[in-house]
Chain A
Amino acid sequence: MTPGLAARLAGQKHIATPRRETPFHPRLKELSETNDWYTWAGCKAPHSIFDTELEYFCIRSQAALFDISPMMKYRITGPDAERYLNRLTLRDVRKLAVGRVQYTAWCDDHGHVLDDGTLFRLDADDFRLCCQERHLPWLLDSAIGFSVTVEEETEVIAGLALQGPTSFSILQAAGFAGVDALKPFQLARFPHEDAEVTISRTGFTGDLGYELFVPVGKALSLWDRLWTAGRLHGLKAIGYDALNRARIEAGFIVANADFVTAEGALRTDRGRMPDEIGLDWLVDTEKPFFNGRDAILRARERRTLKHILVGLEIEGNIPAEHAIVYHRGKREVGLVTAAIWSPLAKRNIAIASLERPFGERIADDLCVEIYAMRELQYRKLMKRAKIVPRPFVRLDRRTFTPPGRF
């Protein structure tokens, strides 16, 4: 349905702000020392706030506040919501209890991953799906034959990630009583002013942490509530660059960085099946039919999977981002999609996409070719690489319930 004339005329103003500002932007702008912004889903988002290095250590040693409002959020409601999502996504949604969160992914008919994300079961017939890319047409077309309503709520719900060892203490200090009972991937609703905030024990850092969702009108007051409570717990606002380091350590992948999404791929060979990007564990073959099922099972049966995603540990300390991976120093077998020197593990780590059978049956004799630009000269380095399990860093505090007070 086309919106009415009045709504459309009011919308014409969008051109005055070619980059949308998130509900937390006033606070971020105030705090920003580096003034270093990028565009995330059409929103102005910080690369860094004051110093990426220090911001990273806030995640691991204190607490960090990261604005996740630009993340796409879809609300799926209705009597068929569970059946609908079960057909849509790879995991069994019937097993997702009310008040729980599932990390999941979904595919097109050819079994190529459209995106990964988190699915929140707010109620029996009420779900929220959060992800990186836009999927409204796909989600609406998936609703053919189901009694569900799909609504995008990205611009009406603000989101914050509160991550780091002291995050629990901050929530307690902020007065969110009962938050201690939250187990990983569990959510609960808490009063905030005259509204509600949904807090889930989830995150993208591999650390103890929470994600908070609140109507945009209450965004700033929520920020302030946390900020005040966090003063004594080392709370800092951070940008994406620091978060990205933490997520690599945690071994998480990012759509259109570590793999190309099926709808984004222009070139025919870029689509990836779950098994090709380390998401094979999400595929539930026992559950009812879901999008991509046949193609995935057929590829497994016929052994036609072409790629595999692996964690690499690379000798030395020079990050190997976008380096080519070789076997026996000669044969190109893949590409590093993300890499950092891990400050926590004190290791040079990387996520790489390899062509099978490398990374699958052949795991030895790998090396990466790093071009390190130093004062306008490339140092070409051939460094040995070893396949290691992800996450690269495993922190007990992430799962401990009730969480420790740090």
Chain B
Amino acid sequence: MTSFDVIIIGGGHNGLTAATLLGKSGRKVLLLEAAGNVGGALHGYEFHPGFRAGGLAHIVNRLDPDVAKLIGLQAELPEILPTVALSETGMPAVLRGAYGERTDGVTAAEAVRFSELREKLLFQAGILKRFLKRRPPEIGAVTAGDMAAFASAGWNMIRRGREEGRDFLRMLLMNVADVADEYLTDDRLKGLIAFDATLGIHLGPRSPTSLLGLHYRLTGEAGGAAGAQFMPRGGVSALAAAFEKAAVSAGVTIRTGTSVTRILADRGETKGIALASGEEISAPVVVSAIHPQMTFLTLVDAAELSTGFLRAVKNIRSKGNVARLDLALERVPEFSGVLPEDHRGRLVIARSIDHVENAFNPAKYGEFSEDPVMEITVPSLADPSLAPAGAATLSALVQFAPYQLGEGWEAGKPRFQKVVLDVLERHAPGIGKFVLGSSLMTPADIEACYHMSGGHWHHGELQTDQLLVNRPVNAACRYSTPLKGLYLASAGSHPGGGISGLPGFLAAQSILAGERR
């Protein structure tokens, strides 16, 4: 039996981040990936002859600076891309700079209101941010470091004035719709922030706590600018390559096309892993960078875990709501009223708060929206290799599309695709005529393709009751798990999903800190 110091299961960006960090520390690290290549949600695929999709993620807005440094991403400021809130009837509203440092297409008064709200939300996100880059505290054994983080959060609030602090505690668990109504009047902007707060989360804008989704987005940064988004040179796939390169140069052994079938354990201690081939590899430390439910419900023998723990794992809510549509287009699409260069940004279709709310309603009952909301990018503009010369790809994240469709996705998928194309047609008249090919991935497809339970890219609902000390479950919230030597490092762990690398980064730090449980 071969042996390693650390085995990482899953070669997504979090697995690669953890592997790189551990490899750099001199440990002998083996990374196992079931798919043919690493990169996970960053990895692209050909969906139509000559046309490639960039990856499940189609824009980068929260890559952690330390992770960026780790994988050798150049420190220079990336170009910040705009967000365009499309309108069916009039001109779009455009957020420029980091989440609308400047706004175009809205009245001067509304621009002021938006910037007030933006500032408030960024301040609040700033308070929360420090907790995203630390391990959740251990209840009952809070460390000096934890106390310092709390103190600094408190100090920041007070320094800003009592009323800002009060507003923070008032707004923290509010719904995004009430906040939008309180500060804004323009339906496009309200619809946009309602969309951004709920994208990838099973909440509508009127659901209490939905503002937290927006806070989460604003804790992300690019080039030091909070709330900014960018596209790496060469597209998202280029990022996958950077992650892989970093791992390889850290001495990590990578085996792709290698499915782990079992995490070996005895009397509560990890011993290694077994592969589909029957091969067993031993290691005292195994890091699972795949979905926590897959980890514990399929890879670990239930006899090595306790009942209450498995019960909690089973209760993790992780049913995706977002479908992904890729279109192969004869030529670059043109959305009404959108400047050509703004097509390189993120285009959002969410007319109003009610539009998002009404799109959410059916998802509660296993139905898809007949009038969905979505965000669109044109990946081939950043990475021309994705499409033949002159042609283009379009990528849309569409919600709400439930993981379990009442009528079944086999019947529902063609209907849903038509619904989505009709919406696109309304915003980019004529686009239908240029469609050469398409691929619609429902959450069920995403689950199958990316090995994410429920097709949920956060690997578990990013809602208040599944955050911090309860992410993914309390007994495994500090990356170590009840199974000694087994660590979690996927988006299912604190602080959650998106291309940040933080779960992997913090998990590796935990291991390096020598804490075994």
Contact = CB atoms under 8 A, between A and B. Distances in A.
A337 B461 CA distance: 46
Contact of A289 (B267, B308, B310): B267
Interface string A355-370: 0000000000000000
A156 B475 CA distance: 39
B309 A109 contact: yes
Nearest to A114: B307
Most buried by B among A88, A288, A292, A293: A288
B308 A146 contact: no
Given A145-B302, A146-B302, A288 B307 contact: no
Interface stretch (A116-124, A136-144, A174-182): A136-144
7 shortest A-B CB distances, which residue pairs?
A145-B302, A109-B308, A142-B307, A109-B306, A87-B303, A291-B306, A141-B311
Given A87-B303, A142-B307, A289-B304, 5 more contacts: A109-B306, A141-B311, A144-B311, A144-B314, A291-B308
B97 interface: no
Contact size range, A: 20 to 34
Contacts of A146: 302-303
A145 B307 contact: no
Contact size range, B: 10 to 19
B475 A109 contact: yes
B407 interface: no
Interface string B239-273: 00000000000000000000000000111100000
A210 to B, nearest CB: 33
B286 to A, nearest CB: 16
A19 interface: no
A109 B307 contact: yes
Nearest to B484: A294
Nearest to A291: B306
B181 interface: no
Contacts of B309: 109
Contacts of A87: 302-303, 307
B232 interface: no
A211 B149 CA distance: 62
Contacts of A288: 266-267, 303-304
Interface in B449-480: 475
B107 to A, nearest CB: 56
B208 interface: no
Interface of B: 265-268, 297, 301-311, 314, 475, 482
Contact of A291 (B265, B301, B307): B307
Give the secondary structure class of B's interface: helix
B266 A141 contact: no
Nearest to B483: A289
A145 B267 contact: no
A289 B303 contact: yes
Contacts of A145: 297, 301-303, 305, 310
9 contacts: A108-B307, A108-B308, A141-B307, A142-B307, A144-B302, A145-B302, A145-B305, A146-B302, A288-B266
A83 interface: yes
A294 B311 contact: no
A291 B475 CA distance: 14
A86 interface: yes
A144 B304 contact: no
A138 B306 CA distance: 11
Contacts of A289: 265-268, 303-305
A141 B312 CA distance: 10
Contacts of A110: 308
A86 B303 contact: yes
Interface in A87-128: 87-88, 108-110
Nearest to B268: A289
Nearest to A88: B307
Nearest to A86: B303
B268 A294 contact: yes
A223 to B, nearest CB: 38
Contacts of B310: 141, 144-145
Interface string A142-167: 10111000000000000000000000
B179 to A, nearest CB: 37
A142 B311 CA distance: 8
A343 B311 CA distance: 48
A119 to B, nearest CB: 17
